[in-house]
Amino acid sequence: MIFYVRSRETIPCPDCEAKLTVIGSRKRGLIEYSGEKKVLIIRRLRCPGCGKIHHELPDIIVPYKRYSSETVELIISPSKEQKDDYPCELSTAKRLKIWFFLLRNYFKNTLLSLTFLYDYEEALSKEIQCLLFRLNNSSGFNGWLKKLVRYLVNSGRWLHTRSA
């Protein structure tokens, strides 16, 4: 299954905010919770301002993770019924949990700093408050991880770690 990734909005460079131009594409594998494997075609973008190369990441992707954001979310915060029932090796699930445990404070602090840095509209800052609540209480709405990823990637604050 091959999917082409196209965002409707024009994406600004996370480093200098110039408008990115498309220069090509590359393939990216993705595993869903069901175990289904997908291939995404992701556009390579170049910034005319600072010359950096970026990739257009849809929010179903967690950068540097092989599983979809929905899958990673389910693995790091499973419901009681699905405890220890993962779509991946137990060791992979453990690595993902440790990754999230280690970065949780970074995520919280970064979201907080974004609310101060950017003059977000009310709806957006409300969403960030919901995300912060989710990170503090480990309960709340589904789909929080892809929102978190989007805020961090779009602001150039995603941490590149080597793990699951």
Rounded CA gap, 164 and 149, in Å? 16
Residue from 23, 50, 53, 102 in contact with Zn ion (CB under 5 A): 50
User: Do 161 and 103 form a contact (C-beta atoms < 8 A)?
Assistant: yes
> In the bound complex, what is the minimum distance in angstroms from residue 48's beta carbon to Zn ion?
8
Question: Would you count residue 14 as binding Zn ion (CB under 5 A)?
Answer: no
Question: Would you count residue 15 as binding Zn ion (CB under 5 A)?
Answer: yes
Size of the residue set binding Zn ion (CB under 5 A): 7
Question: Would you count residue 36 as binding Zn ion (CB under 5 A)?
Answer: no
> In the bound complex, what is the minimum distance in angstroms from residue 15's beta carbon to Zn ion?
4
Q: 101 Cβ partners below 8 Å, 6+ apart?
A: none
| Cα angle 22, 128, 101; round to 5 | 90
User: Do 76 and 135 form a contact (C-beta atoms < 8 A)?
Assistant: no
> In the bound complex, what is the minimum distance in angstroms from residue 53's beta carbon to Zn ion?
10
- Residues at the site binding Zn ion, with contacts judged by CB under 5 A: 13, 15-16, 18, 47, 49-50
